[in-house]
Amino acid sequence: MASLTERKAYREKIMQALYEATEGNRLLGVTGVKLAQDLAIPAEDLAAACTYLVGEDLITV
């Protein structure tokens, strides 16, 4: 599992990638597989980061 600093960085990378991929349109989506490929974040850390972002109502899974 990633350190706190790494987890924060992963969350920021995910949010930035989602915003760029959807051009700010919340109705468009991006798959987890695409995020994993594009960001090279370990699957366990990607899942944890997305779970956190869902809990904060920042993304929808």
Asked if residue 60 is part of any domain, the answer here is no
User: Where does the pLDDT of residue 11 fall: very low under 50, low under 70, confident under 90, or very high at 90 and above?
Assistant: very high
What pLDDT score does 35 carry?
A: 86
Our count of domains for the chain comes to: 1
Q: What does the block give as tokens for 14?
A: 């995910």
Asked if residue 61 is part of any domain, the answer here is no
What pLDDT score does 34 carry?
A: 86
What pLDDT score does 23 carry?
A: 83
* pTM of the full structure: 0.84
What pLDDT score does 26 carry?
A: 74
pLDDT per residue over 22-56, tens digit each?
A: 887 777 888 888 888 889 899 899 999 999 999 99
**Domain span at 31:** 4-55
Q: Map the chain to HEC letters.
A: CCCHHHHHHHHHHHHHHHHHHHCCCCCCCCCHHHHHHHHCCCHHHHHHHHHHHHHCCCCCC
